[in-house]
Amino acid sequence: MTAAAHLPRPLDGFTILDLTTALAGPYATLILGGLGARVIKIENPLSPDSARGNAPFLGPEGIGLTRRHKEDYSLAMLERGRNKQAITLNLKNPEAREVFFDLVRKADGVVENYSAGVTDRLGIGYTTLTEINPRIVYTAISGFGATANPLQNKAMDAIVQAMSGLMMTSGKAGEPPVRVGVPFGDLSAPLFAVIGTLAALIQARATGKGQFVDVSLLGVLSSMVAVEPFDVLEELGQNTRTGNFMARLAPFGVFPTRDGHIAVCAPVDNFAQSLFRAMDRPGLAADPRFANRDARVTNHEALHALVGGWLKGKTVAEAVDILAAEGVPSGPVRGPGEAKQDPQLIARGEITRITHPDLKDEGASFYGSGLPIRMSGSEVGYDRPAVRMGASNREVYCGLMGYTAEKVEELARKKVI
């Protein structure tokens, strides 16, 4: 959470029904919850979110790769289940449909990431829901989009990385494709889903009419790859797969040092001149090979060799200090664990400690993602831990929907919830 405590949350008063599973959908609803929406995660009790079974697990004995206690909880669910209520509803049970429709009448939005067409077959697609609640904003996150070929409607992150061209933007020419380690497709599509959902919610408040928001993993990732003109550069004879360096922005790359690696980015004249001063080679600014941007691009191999040779004699800490003193954009290459311990990231709420919902001791926690948005007039962030499947049944069914306790018990007996 940010320092803006006790302020209103931006999405206070909005209710979002969360039908998502795995990563792409739950990450979108996690963000909406962090912005203050009431997110109600709906799971089939006979087939819960697959992420609940993802290793590693956190429990009484700390973190392990296998479940050792009934209290053990998947780190994935602890991460993605924050700021959400959790209810059970078996949408394959015919009686569950009317219960879901009652929820829709109370809601502002629905988010799902089933394969295209699944919710229509269940009788809970957008066309049906908009008749029940014309204000409903229905967001679908799928691999290829709602209009895709029905035979091509299942995708995972590696598939969309491959099909979007992303795998052929990293690495060196002639080498095999490079999969980005972070599930970039699964994490970037939710961002656009949230943007689309927020825009549609604003419009619905103004017009009284919701709409269908359609976001595909392949579409998002391909669009982001297309921001860089890789195909045009190839037509112009430029090699776009240059490993840790970018020739057209030279000096620009990741260089080895005595004890690690450092990223240096100095594409414009003043940065390049600052770099030459840091190297104690100010005269390079007058060298015809490096005197201006075009010259540096033409002679990028020689320039990167000079920079690399200088950095090889420094430690990462030494290089960072020298470059910072001259105002050269640079930064050490850190592992994920080291990055998560950055005091500034923790202080800003961009990295936060995630706790087990039932175990309160310090050992039953780990560092994970925060909400990397700070707002001066709003409270944002993840302030409530994930809860067990169905833990919010009474709160939602009795509190929000007004069902009697007897009706909730009957629904449970019938295995509707």
Percent pLDDT > 90 in the chain is 89
- Contact predicate 132/106, CB 8 Å: no
* 308 CB-near residues (< 8 Å, 6+ apart): 255, 256
- Which residue range(s) make up the domain with 148? 15-224+353-413
> Burial level of 48, CB count in 10 A (0-12/13-18/19+)?
middle
> Burial level of 368, CB count in 10 A (0-12/13-18/19+)?
middle
321 with 213, same domain?
Answer: no
**Predicted model pTM:** 0.94
Rounded to 10 degrees, the C-alpha dihedral 115/116/119/121 comes to: -100
| 184 domain residue, yes or no | yes
Q: Cα–Cα distance between 349 and 366 in angstroms, integer?
A: 14
20 with 147, same domain?
Answer: yes
Q: What CATH code is carried by the domain that includes residue 74? A: 3.40.50.10540
Q: Cα–Cα distance between 206 and 93 in angstroms, integer?
A: 36
- Contact predicate 101/132, CB 8 Å: yes
| 174 domain residue, yes or no | yes
In 250-267, which positions are buried (b, 16+ CB within 10 angstroms) versus exposed (e)? bbbbebebeeebbebbbb
282 with 178, same domain?
Answer: no
**pLDDT higher than 50, residue 1:** no
Q: How many CA atoms lie within 13 A of 260 on its CB side?
A: 13
Specify the pLDDT at position 188: 97
**Residue 169 amino acid letter:** T
301 with 192, same domain?
Answer: no
Q: At what angle are helices 157-164 and 184-207 packed, to 10 degrees? A: 90
| 139 domain residue, yes or no | yes
| Phi/psi of residue 44, nearest 5 degrees | -75, 120
DSSP SS3 for 142:
strand
Mean pLDDT of 89-103: 96
151 or 373, greater pLDDT: 373
In 78-100, which positions are buried (b, 16+ CB within 10 angstroms) versus exposed (e)? bbbbbbbbbbbbbbebeebbebb
289 with 216, same domain?
Answer: no
Specify the pLDDT at position 204: 98
**pLDDT higher than 80, residue 387:** yes
User: What stretch of H or E contains 137?
Assistant: strand 137-142
Task: Give the ranges where 110-238 is alpha helix by DSSP (H).
Answer: 118-122, 126-132, 157-164, 184-207, 217-225, 230-235
Domain final position from 301, 332, 363: 332
187 with 73, same domain?
Answer: yes
368 with 282, same domain?
Answer: no
Specify the pLDDT at position 242: 86
Q: Which of 39, 54, 6, 50 is nearest to 386 (CA)?
A: 39
- Express each pLDDT in 219-278 by its tens digit: 999 999 999 999 998 888 888 888 999 988 999 999 999 999 999 999 999 999 999 999
**pLDDT higher than 80, residue 150:** no
326 with 375, same domain?
Answer: no
167 with 271, same domain?
Answer: no
The count of domains in the chain is 2
40 with 157, same domain?
Answer: yes
Whole-Å CA distances, 358 to 56, 72, 143, 295: 17, 10, 35, 62
**pLDDT higher than 60, residue 121:** yes
DSSP SS3 for 348:
coil
127 with 270, same domain?
Answer: no
- Contact predicate 96/416, CB 8 Å: yes
**pLDDT higher than 70, residue 311:** yes
* 78 CB-near residues (< 8 Å, 6+ apart): 58, 354, 355, 356, 357, 366, 368, 385, 386
Specify the pLDDT at position 154: 78
Q: Cα–Cα distance between 314 and 256 in angstroms, integer?
A: 9
pLDDT interval class at 147 (50, 70, 90)? confident
Domain final position from 332, 361, 393: 332
Q: Beta-strand (E) ranges in 55-136?
A: 57-59, 62-64, 73-74, 84-88, 109-112
| 396 domain residue, yes or no | yes
Mean pLDDT of 87-92: 96
**pLDDT higher than 50, residue 2:** no
Specify the pLDDT at position 12: 97
Q: Cα–Cα distance between 43 and 200 in angstroms, integer?
A: 25
DSSP state of 309: H
| 203 domain residue, yes or no | yes
| 10 domain residue, yes or no | no
| 125 domain residue, yes or no | yes
**pLDDT higher than 70, residue 134:** yes
299 with 360, same domain?
Answer: no
| 5 domain residue, yes or no | no
